[in-house]
Structure 1
Amino acid sequence: MTQPQPATEPPPHSLRDEILAYYERGEEDARLKQGAGRLEFWRTQEVLRRLLPEAPARVLDVGGGSGVHAEWLARDGYEVELVDPVPLHLEQAARLPGVRVRPGDARALPAEDAAYDVVLLLGPLYHLPERADRVRALAEAHRAVRPGGLVVAATINRFAGLHDGLQLGYYFTPEHRARTDAALGDGHHTHAPEDPLFTTAYFADPTEVPGEFTEAGLAHEGQYGVEGVAWLMGGVEEWLDDPERREAVLAATRRIESEPSLLGVSGHLLTAGRRRP
C-alpha cells in the first residue's frame, strides 16, 4: 500500500471566515461543560479513556479548541500538544497546566513523522466538506502517529441537524427546514448569516468514515455513538444533574454505542483506527 505523504505546505484559506467567526464567539468551551452538552463531553471522555494507551503517552490534540479535552488528558498524566487554527482557542488552551499549544491546520500538521502515540481529531472533520480534505487530514494523522499508534476522529452524524431541529423546533421554520433537508442528501450544511446556531459543516454518514480511514492508510478498528438516543430526550439535562440518573444514562448509552443500526442516532460519532506496525 502506498503510504500517505506529508503535506508540503498549508492549504490556502485554511479556515473559512464564517467558521473562524463562529468559534471566535468563545462559546465552545462552555457548550461542553453545561446543560445537555455534558453528555457529549462525558461520553467522549469515557470512550477515549478505554481506547487510549496508559499514561504517560504523547497525545496530539488536533483542532482541540479551547482545550476542553486536553485539560483532563494532561491531568490524567498524558503529554499533550494541542494544534488549532483559531487564535482565541490557542489563548484559552495555553492557560491549561501541562498543555502545549501551537497554531496549525489538520491538513498540514506542524508535527514530525511518527512523533505521537495518539492523534485525536475531535473537531476538524466537522468543517471539511470535501472528502479529499478529510482524507488529507486523516493522512496527516497517520503520518504523525507512531506505527501501531491510535487515531480517533469525531464526526457529526448525517441526521444530527434533523434531530436537533425537531427537538428545538427550528425545523418548522421554512428556511431552516430547507437547509436541513438539503444536508440529509449530501451532508453539506451551508452557512447562513441569519442562522446563529452553526456554521459551514459536513454531516457524515457513519458508513463512509471507515473508508476515509482506509484511504488515509489507517486500519479501522471501531465506531462509537457518543450520545446514543439520550440527547434527544426532553429530560436529559435534569438527568445529568442527578448523579444516580447520570450514571444510568451513561451506562445505557454505552450499551448501544457500537450497535450498527443505531450509530446514526447519536449527534456525534467517534471512529478509531491505527497506523499499521
Structure 2
Amino acid sequence: MSDIINYYNQFDEWGRLEREPIEFQVNWHYIKRYLPPAGNILDNGAGPGKYSIKLAMEGYRVTLTDLTPKLVEIAKEKAEEFHLENHFSDFLVADARDLSGIQDEQFDAALMLGPMYHLQEEADRIKAIRELHRVTKKNGLVFIAFMPRIKHILTSLMYPENWKPNNQMKSIQQFNDTGSFNHQEAGRFTGAYYFNIEEIKPFMEAHGFESLELIGSNVASILNKENWDYWKDKGEQEYKNLIDLLIEKANDPYILGISSHLLYIGVKK
C-alpha cells in the first residue's frame, strides 16, 4: 500500500471534487435519497473528508477513517474550518480491511467511496466488505464506490500514453482479464482494481447485502473542457438543466460503462 499512500499524500482529492463537481453532486443526490433523517454514519476511506463534511452539515454524527494519515489530518482541519468538530465521533487512521478499532453494528449507514479502487486481491476485497458489514447495523445502508473495467479500457485506448503500460494491446488485454492496473510511471494513479459491472451486485449480495441501486457517478467523464465550456456559456439555468439530466440518467443501466465511477447502494440483511 505504500505507493498508494504516497500517491494520495501528493494528490488533491478535495480539489478534484471541487474542479469536477458532477461526481459529488450525483453521489450526494442518491446518498441523501436513501439516508435516514438522522443517525451515526461511517465514512470509511474518506480521504480529506468531502462527504463527511457534507454529512456533518446535514446534522449526522460522523466517524471518519482513512489509510493515509495526512488525509485524516486534512479532514480534521476541514471540520475545524467549518466549525463542525462536534458532529464527528472520531477521526481514525485505519485500513478498510481491518476496522478492529470499531465495535460491531455501530452505524445506521456507511460510505466506502475509495478503498475498493485499490484492493487487487479478491481476499482483500472480501475482508473490506465483511468489515463494512460487521460495523453496520442490521438494515443499515451502505454506499460503495467501484470503478468499471470497460471504462478504463476505453480510456486507455483513447489516451494510451497517459496510461502506460496500457499503450500496448497486450497490456490492455491483460488488464481486461485481471482488472488490476499498475501504472508504469512513478507518482501516478496505481495499484488499482476495476470491476466488471455485472459482477458488482452478485459480489455484494454474496457477502450479506441486498442491492438497491447501482448508478453511474460520473457519466459526464466523456465530456471534455470544450463541451463543458459550451454549456456553461449558455447560462446558469441551462447548466443546471444539464446537471439535472446527468442526475436523472445516473441509474440508467445502459450507460454505466461510460462512467468513470459507480456507486453501489445496498442494505445489510
- TM range, smaller chain: 0.7 to 0.9
Give the corresponding residue for 2:182: 190
In the comparison of the two structures, how many residue pairs are matched? 255
CA contact (8 A) 1:180 1:189 kept: no
Contact kept, 8 Å, 2:141 with 2:268, in 1: the verdict is yes
Shift of residue 166, structure 1, vs aligned partner: 5.2
Cα distance in 2 for residues equivalent to 1:85 and 1:164: 27
Q: Does 1:69 align with 2:51?
A: yes
1:43 to 9, 12, 26: 26
What stretches of structure 1 of length at least 5 have no aligned partner?
1-15
Q: How does 1:97-108 map to 2 (within 5 A)?
A: 97=84, 98-99=87-88, 100-108=90-98
* In structure 2, C-alpha distance between the alignment counterparts of 1:211 and 1:240, rounded to whole Å: 39
Secondary structure of the structure 2 residue equivalent to 1:191 = coil
**8 A Cα contact 2:6 2:187, kept in partner:** no
- Paired position in structure 1 for 2:267: 274
More helix by share: 2
The equivalent residue for 1:10 is none
Identity %: 29
Segment drifting more, 236-245 vs 154-163:
236-245
Between the aligned partners of 1:107 and 1:196, the Cα distance in structure 2 is 24
* TM-score, structure 2 normalization: 0.87
- The answer to whether the 8 A contact 1:163-1:232 is kept is no
Residue pair 1:60, 1:80 contacting (<8 A) in 2 also:
yes
Query: 1:84·1:90 contact (CA, 8 Å) conserved in 2?
Result: yes
Mark the CA change 1:125 to 1:195 in structure 2 (over 3 Å): closer, same or farther: same
CA-to-aligned-CA distance 1:120-146 (integer Å, 9 cap, x gap): 110000000122211221111111111
Aligned residue identity for 2:143: V
Counterparts of 1:63 and 1:79, CA distance in 2: 16
Aligned to 2:125: 134
TM-score of the superposition, structure 1-length normalised? Answer: 0.85
* Structure 1 residue 204: Cα displacement: 1.0
Cα distance change, pair 240–33 in 1 and its aligned pair in 2 (3 A): farther
Please tell me whether the aligned partners of residues 13 and 48 of structure 2 are also in contact (alpha carbons under 8 angstroms).
yes
- Give the superposition deviation at 1:151: 0.9
State whether residues 110 and 142 of structure 2, in contact with CA within 8 Å, keep that contact through their aligned partners in structure 1.
Answer: yes
In 2: Cα distance, 1:101 partner to 1:173 partner: 34
Unaligned runs of 5+ in 2: none
Output the amino acid matched with 1:77: G
How far does residue 198 in structure 1 lie from its aligned partner after superposition? 1.1
